[in-house]
Amino acid sequence: MTELTYRATGVDPTRAEKSLAQIRERIARTRTPEVIGDIGAFGGLFASPGADRVLVATTDGVGTKLEIARLLDRHEVVGTDLVHHCVNDAMAMGAEPLFFLDYFSTSRIDPAVFARVVGAMADACAAHGCALIGGETAEMPGMYHPGAYDVAGFLVGMVAREAILRPDSVSEGDVCIGLASSGLHTNGYTLARAIAARIAGEQGRDVKEALTTPHPELGGRTLGDALLVPHTSYLSQFRALRSSTHVRSIAHLTGGGWEGNLPRALPAGLGAVIDRGTWEVPAIFRVLAELGTVPEVDQWDTWNMGIGLVVIVPASDAPAALRVVPGAVAIGRVEATSGPRRVRWAA
């Protein structure tokens, strides 16, 4: 009878190590003084901040943006996105990033793809002074379609106890400062992909062709390029705001769009009135909405529509906020509300 070995079943425990070896230097560059020991131990070691600090932990994926990145052979964006998404989530609690770990799961590791994804994560970590101290690479034959993979990121940051951003600190009349997004970031891609599939079908082309054809309404860019812009990290803007204003709370506009996220930065009983005339919705959202005949409420409940982060400050601090962050816009204000929907459109 034929012998069965682990390798014969499609799992090669050394493949992950070999893939990792390619990017060891880029990972090493994420090292900060608090890191103790080397990667490869059973756990990553990081000197704890003092007891006056609070740890902020967050985990995220990048959703089906993965599938577009894979289709167009643009794997780096996935790694960048994952780190930026986590950095923003921790920052929404007031935190600076400390360290990051990743989970990479696929049916059969492609070392080149792995190195591109995790290498980009390492670079994004290094750019944020965040140490990449561990990761798990899982090879699960039969679980994923050939070439498909999933990634998850885990980030721990820290904030001084008195600097934790608290929705409870928000009052009626506070101002919502909007920071521009670079596109869909990492949310609403299943809808975007359905739209791409529909137009491909209508035009008798495949999805890849539909994604790689220059589009006049996108200024000649392709839909694929517009969909694969990396998730913006707002850490530098946040630092500028924190040093010049009293940041009350922050909403990171991700899955669930406006209604799904802005209320998370507000106390019970308060909502926000947002004037959509204060910024221009980027072309990618208008194009997708038109191609897919997406109802307006669904657009705003799914996508960020051009604003990736909403920072809430006292009205008296709004001018300072707008001054220290070029491009920031006062998009609305906090108001009392009693309805089931807490985001009201002024225009």
Give the closest residue to 250 by CA, choosing from 94, 128, 97. 94
**In the complex, least distance from residue 316 CB atom to a second copy, rounded to whole angstroms:** 25
263 lies in the binding site for a second copy (CB under 8 A): no
Q: Specify the residue, 136 or 206, whose C-beta has the smaller distance to a second copy.
A: 136
At 192, phi and psi to the nearest 5? -60, -40
Q: Which of residues 185-244 bind a second copy (CB under 8 A)?
A: 188, 190-191, 193-195, 198
Whether the CB-CB separation of 239 and 88 falls below 8 Å is answered with no
Give the range of 137-145, 211-219, 271-279, 339-347 binding a second copy by CB under 8 A: 137-145
Pairwise CA distance, residues 330 & 176, whole Å: 6
Pairwise CA distance, residues 56 & 53, whole Å: 10
21 lies in the binding site for a second copy (CB under 8 A): no
**In the complex, least distance from residue 300 CB atom to a second copy, rounded to whole angstroms:** 11
250 lies in the binding site for a second copy (CB under 8 A): yes
**In the complex, least distance from residue 235 CB atom to a second copy, rounded to whole angstroms:** 14
345 beta partners? 274
Pairwise CA distance, residues 259 & 296, whole Å: 13
**In the complex, least distance from residue 342 CB atom to a second copy, rounded to whole angstroms:** 14
Q: Specify the residue, 119 or 300, whose C-beta has the smaller distance to a second copy.
A: 300
**In the complex, least distance from residue 199 CB atom to a second copy, rounded to whole angstroms:** 11
- Residue whose tokens read 């990396």: 230
Residues binding a second copy: what is the number (CB under 8 A)?
A: 90
Give the range of 6-14, 72-80, 175-183, 323-331 binding a second copy by CB under 8 A: 6-14
Q: Which of residues 87-126 bind a second copy (CB under 8 A)?
A: 89-90, 92-93, 95, 99, 101-103, 105
DSSP string spanning 321-340? Answer: HHHHSTT-EEEEEEEE--SS
Q: Which of residues 317-346 bind a second copy (CB under 8 A)?
A: none
Pairwise CA distance, residues 325 & 238, whole Å: 9
**In the complex, least distance from residue 279 CB atom to a second copy, rounded to whole angstroms:** 22
Q: Specify the residue, 55 or 112, whose C-beta has the smaller distance to a second copy.
A: 55
DSSP string spanning 154-171? Answer: EEEEEEEGGG---GGG--
Angle between helices 13-21 and 111-127 (to 10 degrees): 50
Q: Specify the residue, 295 or 319, whose C-beta has the smaller distance to a second copy.
A: 295
Longest dimension (CA), the chain: 80
**In the complex, least distance from residue 19 CB atom to a second copy, rounded to whole angstroms:** 14
163 lies in the binding site for a second copy (CB under 8 A): no
Of the candidate residues 23, 262, 284, 294, the single one contacting a second copy (CB under 8 A): 294
Pairwise CA distance, residues 28 & 122, whole Å: 9
Pairwise CA distance, residues 67 & 144, whole Å: 12
Q: Please say whether the dihedral angle defined by the alpha carbons of residues 26, 29, 34 and 37, taken in this order, is positive or negative.
A: positive
**In the complex, least distance from residue 23 CB atom to a second copy, rounded to whole angstroms:** 17
CA 179 to chain centre: 14
Q: Which of residues 37-66 bind a second copy (CB under 8 A)?
A: 37, 40-61, 63-64, 66
Q: Specify the residue, 43 or 326, whose C-beta has the smaller distance to a second copy.
A: 43
Give the range of 18-26, 113-121, 155-163, 332-340 binding a second copy by CB under 8 A: 155-163
Give the closest residue to 124 by CA, choosing from 180, 95, 85. 85
**In the complex, least distance from residue 206 CB atom to a second copy, rounded to whole angstroms:** 15
